[in-house]
Amino acid sequence: MSLISVRDLRVSFATPQGRLQAVDDVSFDVAPGETLGLVGESGCGKSTLSKALLRLVPVTSGRIEIEGEDIVPFGPRALRRIRPKVQMVFQDPYGSLNPRHRVGTLIGQPLSVAGWGRRQIRDRVAELLEQVGLPRDAAERYPHEFSGGQRQRVVIARALALSPKLVICDEPVSALDVSVRAQVINLFKDLQDRLGVAYLFISHDLSVVENVSDRLIVMYLGRIIESGRAAEIWRRPAHPYTQALLAAAPVPDPKLARQRRRLVLQGELPSPLNPPSGCAFRTRCPQARPRCAADRPPLRALGGAQRVACHFDLADAAPAPVPSDESACV
């Protein structure tokens, strides 16, 4: 069974200019212990989607099943019961830690809310500090005494306090120096191996996400436009948008670099208040044809697990029919 199963999810906001569709008909699954990467430009709906999974923004329609339970209709009491299963690590380790509290108190907060006793909390905090590679005495110190990378370790320890099944990592290394990014990414991988936790790993940087993810979803203007195994998409991106994201990513393998089309993303993301007709990417797509303005391409299967929302076979992959009940799912 999937750990998380999202079906036909829509989230819209009322704004003075009208309704803004931030997440539009999104479906995907996360299996226990796997990493699903979520990539897209700023404004494509990544954060709104992750907040919806935590029910921090109102869901317009669709289902969010956690271990088979749809949490969309849940009230506050049922949400309190389910919340420990899904935790979040935000981008900014400076903003997400209250500077007036000691690290031990910060990491122990979720435990104290859950009704744990003092001694239990102290022991669990010591265990968590060890798991994220910080010394035991870190519990007595304040956030400003730590570097950015160490603070992100504190945030990760707090997210793991209640042994969640899924941790949503929203740009977790973007605010860190390049030199410490690899260490924090290795920590995420190590914790996954030891604890079997699943991640939804969100970033605008495909090279970061590809490195940690088993599977990927690529979003554009609130919709999934490509999905599949990370290695598959990295090797042969099918959507012109993914191709452009990849063309911008550094590639260590010169052969792969030569194979890649040199695509540069033109223009800005269109406003979700007034999205283009048909394919939302067509206004920036170097391959756009008249059909793209008329019909919105559904996600369709290519070879393997890859799916793409494009009318054309731009990665030379052999298309295969998709069963209709799965057509929008990853």
Residue 236 DSSP one-character state: S
Measured between alpha carbons, how far is 153 from 131 in angstroms, rounded to an integer?
9
CB of 97 vs ligand ATP, minimal distance in Å: 20
* Residue window 260-279: x/- pattern of binding to ligand ATP, with contact defined by CB under 6 A: ------------x-------
Specify the 3-state DSSP secondary structure of 187.
helix
What are the angstrom distances between the C-alpha of 167 and each of 90, 214, 287?
Answer: 10, 15, 37
Residues binding ligand ATP: number (CB under 6 A): 13
* Residue window 42-81: x/- pattern of binding to ligand ATP, with contact defined by CB under 6 A: xxxxxxx---------------------------------
CB of 270 vs ligand ATP, minimal distance in Å: 10
CB of 94 vs ligand ATP, minimal distance in Å: 17
Of 96, 165, 158, the C-alpha closest to 127 is: 158
Residue (45 or 104) nearer to ligand ATP, CB: 45
CB of 271 vs ligand ATP, minimal distance in Å: 7
What is the secondary structure of 130-157 as a DSSP string? HHTT--GGGGGS-GGGS-HHHHHHHHHH
218: which strand partners?
39, 226
Residue (24 or 34) nearer to ligand ATP, CB: 24
Residue (38 or 161) nearer to ligand ATP, CB: 38
Q: What is the CA radius of gyration of the chain?
A: 21
Measured between alpha carbons, how far is 177 from 210 in angstroms, rounded to an integer?
19
Query: Which span sits near ligand ATP by CB under 6 A: 41-49, 150-158, 281-289, 302-310?
Result: 41-49
Measured between alpha carbons, how far is 184 from 246 in angstroms, rounded to an integer?
23
Burial bucket for residue 168 (CB in 10 Å: 0-12, 13-18, 19+): buried
5: which strand partners?
29, 65
Query: Which span sits near ligand ATP by CB under 6 A: 2-10, 38-46, 98-106, 187-195?
Result: 38-46
Residue (48 or 243) nearer to ligand ATP, CB: 48
* Residue window 193-212: x/- pattern of binding to ligand ATP, with contact defined by CB under 6 A: --------------------
CB of 166 vs ligand ATP, minimal distance in Å: 18
Q: Which residue has the tokens 């990295």?
A: 234
CB of 201 vs ligand ATP, minimal distance in Å: 13
CB of 22 vs ligand ATP, minimal distance in Å: 3
What is the secondary structure of 6-69 as a DSSP string? EEEEEEEEEETTEEEEEEEEEEEEE-TT-EEEEE--TTSSHHHHHHHHTT-S---EEEEEETTE
| Segments of 143-256 assigned E as strands | 166-170, 198-203, 215-220, 223-229
Largest CA distance in the chain: 67
Taking CB under 6 A as the criterion, the residue among 3, 4, 22, 265 binding ligand ATP is 22
Taking CB under 6 A as the criterion, the residue among 3, 4, 40, 108 binding ligand ATP is 40
Residue (273 or 305) nearer to ligand ATP, CB: 273
Residue (22 or 216) nearer to ligand ATP, CB: 22
Residue (168 or 191) nearer to ligand ATP, CB: 168
Q: Does 17 bind ligand ATP (CB under 6 A)?
A: no
CB of 9 vs ligand ATP, minimal distance in Å: 12
CB of 142 vs ligand ATP, minimal distance in Å: 28
**Which parts of this chain interact with ligand ATP (CB under 6 A)?**
13, 15, 20, 22, 40, 42-48, 272
